[in-house]
A and B are shown apart, each in its own frame.
Chain A
């Protein structure tokens, strides 16, 4: 009898074995990617500098603004700093896995790489996401944690184990919101060729989700909370730590929002895949 190879179709296995098998495959994807990436160590170093530079500028902007005012709509400098630091963690997590979403329409649909993806017996979405990583996301995560630590020290806050656990839920939850939003935008390209470029304006909105959203007018707040839910990528989850007891309760909804947004986007993706016709190239 022929022994199945390690990467043979997993359809004949039990559910648990199948999950473990998929995990091994994506582990292999990651190792493969790391090997490729380590050939260009200098890039990573320069990227670290670039991320650090951008952080420095953001901090300078915040510093200058708060040199002119004590509180921004009732939010102190350390509080705003904390929200900003927090925002970097989910953004970093999202950046780690999102590189392929930006070029998806061009490289996978028009370039024909998606055919190869569909031929393999693993989920298409997971393949596209795990086929490339942006290691610079790690920079954002670490710098974000450092800014948060500094801000908590300035606040004199004393965070305990519960807060640490909360961070472990809130940050990935917020990252799911990012992933869901941009996945949905990417999935649109299964139906229409995106000549307009929907992603850039949405991406540009991110930088304003780092401020306390109470400074915005009511329509903008509603928009950021329910329509394009970027209030959930930084402000609401960070409010668990710095927003007082009322908003802390709201913060707990973040993972739920993340799961809902991501699930919706994943469903869209699935419909899109069914709708997919190869360009034949």
Chain B
């Protein structure tokens, strides 16, 4: 390409000259690239299917023992509004959903900051937050085909996972999990931004890893918890990542509940995206890159 051509290309890339379709094309490119990048590492996801099967299996036996223990003591067969079969479905759908929305944005961003690689991203004519979000979409596309579907094929027949409450419930579950992806990614981005202030956030990342599955309701449904805890989590974004979509799948959220759930998710998705952008803007103003 000659100099003029390069100039023209650079001009098209500059954010202030980009048309909306141009932006879409650019970020669409990141979706595709992320998809291809993960495709290259697809072997790793075969053992991941085992991991997720283990997660589901472990909780499956745990809850079976719990419901059996209740039956032995003559207690009611529903706990927190769920029968044993619904509980098994809850566990399986939670993990299946997690296999889709999960990503490592927090870790990747923290690594970029601590290793100084962030400097290279700051001089490029696009917004890292948007790039990472679109890469997360590409990753999720890969995960859906190569990870989530295989996990479903193993887990659903193995543990007798219940069907969705209906065609509409299934469709809304998919919409809901898509919103989960945005919330999860933006939260990850916010956590990663902590690296600007703290340099080393290994401890925070570990806490995130451990705390996330608990706070999103993957491990125990919130209805098992005492009332005060349910009130607290209702005000946090985490329940929108897993608990809400899974409850939609089970048909426990219909009508106005369904609408309010989806609206709440959308609100968190937008709110966290805006918050992350503000934090980012503040953080890069005071970033010091040593080498990189």
The residues of A with any CB-CB pair to B shorter than 8 Å are: 40, 42-43, 46-47, 49-50, 53-54, 57, 60-61, 64-65, 67-73, 195-198, 200-201, 204-205, 207-208, 211, 215-217, 220
Contacts and interface: CB of A to CB of B under 8 A. Distances in A.
A200 B54 CA distance: 11
Given A50-B210, A73-B68, A215-B64, A197 B47 contact: yes
20 contacts: A40-B200, A47-B206, A50-B207, A54-B210, A57-B210, A57-B211, A60-B214, A61-B214, A61-B220, A64-B220, A64-B225, A67-B224, A69-B75, A73-B65, A73-B69, A196-B47, A200-B47, A200-B48, A215-B61, A215-B65
A205 B200 contact: no
Q: Is the interface of B mostly helix, strand, loop or mixed?
A: helix
Contacts of A57: 210-211, 214
A197 B41 CA distance: 10
B180 to A, nearest CB: 20
Nearest to B210: A54
A22 to B, nearest CB: 32
B43 A69 contact: no
Interface in B212-228: 214, 219-220, 224-226
The 4 closest A-B pairs by CB, nearest first: A46-B203, A208-B58, A69-B69, A215-B65
A195 B44 contact: yes
Nearest to A73: B65
A57 B214 CA distance: 7
Interface string B190-210: 000000000010111011001
Contact of A69 (B61, B66, B80): B66
Contacts of B211: 53-54, 57
Contacts of A60: 214
Given A201-B50, A217-B61, A49 B207 contact: yes
B70 interface: yes
Contact of A72 (B43, B50, B65): B65
A72 B58 CA distance: 14
Contacts of B226: 67
A67 B47 CA distance: 35
B66 A65 contact: yes
A20 B206 CA distance: 38
B154 to A, nearest CB: 13
A197 B211 CA distance: 24
B70 to A, nearest CB: 5
B44 A54 contact: no
A118 B65 CA distance: 51
A201 B65 CA distance: 23
Interface of B: 43-44, 46-48, 50-51, 54-55, 57-58, 61-62, 64-66, 68-70, 72-73, 75, 79-80, 200, 202-204, 206-207, 210-211, 214, 219-220, 224-226
Contacts of A72: 62, 65-66, 69
A60 B66 CA distance: 16
Contacts, number: 101
Contact of A50 (B51, B55, B79, B203): B203
Nearest to B46: A196
Per DSSP, are chain A's interface residues mostly helix, strand or loop, or mixed? Answer: helix
Given A50-B210, A201-B48, A43 B65 contact: no
Contact of B73 (A42, A70, A220): A70
Nearest to A43: B200
Nearest to A211: B62
A57 B208 CA distance: 12
Contacts of B44: 195-197
A213 to B, nearest CB: 9
Contacts of B202: 43, 46-47
B54 A201 contact: yes
Contacts of A73: 65, 68-69
Contact of A205 (B54, B75, B79): B54
A205 B53 CA distance: 10
A208 B62 CA distance: 9
B38 to A, nearest CB: 14
B51 A53 contact: no
A42 B201 CA distance: 11
A195 B42 CA distance: 9
B54 A204 contact: yes
Contacts of A215: 61-62, 64-65
B2 to A, nearest CB: 39
B82 to A, nearest CB: 11
Contacts of A70: 69, 73
A68 B204 contact: no
B61 A195 contact: no
A71 B65 CA distance: 9
Nearest to B72: A71
